[in-house]
Amino acid sequence: METAALGCLYLALAKGVLLAGFLFFFLLILTYLFYSLTVTGTADTLELRFGIGLIRKKFKLNEVMTAQPHKTAWWDGWGIHYTSQGLLFNVSGFNAVKLTMTNGRRYIIGTNDPGSLLIFIQSHRK
């Protein structure tokens, strides 16, 4: 009986360590995927890259109908997900630029320099 109890205790601890190891590994991967948001642009595109660059999104600047400054609320959170204002791309802070595309879709891009991003978008739209 004591051996069975010790065996059960060992399995519980081993599974706990396995679960903790899995969670640590999962959080490490998420950190590398989402630790930053880099916004770059060319003459005709705007590109967003999260973390090491595996997750990215490109916008054609000639499809941007409007671009305006935007403040996200704390309940909008961070990451990539839908909000009532559009699809959010953000890793920190509350400053953003809201894009409305010619097809009606809306995107919110988190940035610590919304003024420069707005100037870039408006000067490269055709």
Q: How confident is the model at residue 10 (pLDDT cuts 50, 70, 90)?
A: low
Instruction: Tell me, yes or no, whether 55 and 97 share the same domain.
Output: yes
Side chain identity at 57, as an amino acid letter? K
Instruction: Tell me, yes or no, whether 47 and 27 share the same domain.
Output: no
Q: How confident is the model at residue 117 (pLDDT cuts 50, 70, 90)?
A: very high
Closest Cα to residue 45, out of 56, 36, 33, 34? 56
Instruction: Count up the domains in the chain and report the number.
Output: 2
Instruction: Tell me, yes or no, whether 3 and 25 share the same domain.
Output: yes
For the entire predicted model, the pTM comes to 0.78
Give the position of tokens 């399995």: 11
Instruction: Tell me, yes or no, whether 82 and 53 share the same domain.
Output: yes
CATH of the domain at 83: 2.30.29
Instruction: Tell me, yes or no, whether 63 and 114 share the same domain.
Output: yes
> pLDDT (tens digit, 9 = 90+) per residue, 54-92?
889 999 999 999 999 999 988 888 888 999 899 999 988
Instruction: Tell me, yes or no, whether 45 and 81 share the same domain.
Output: yes
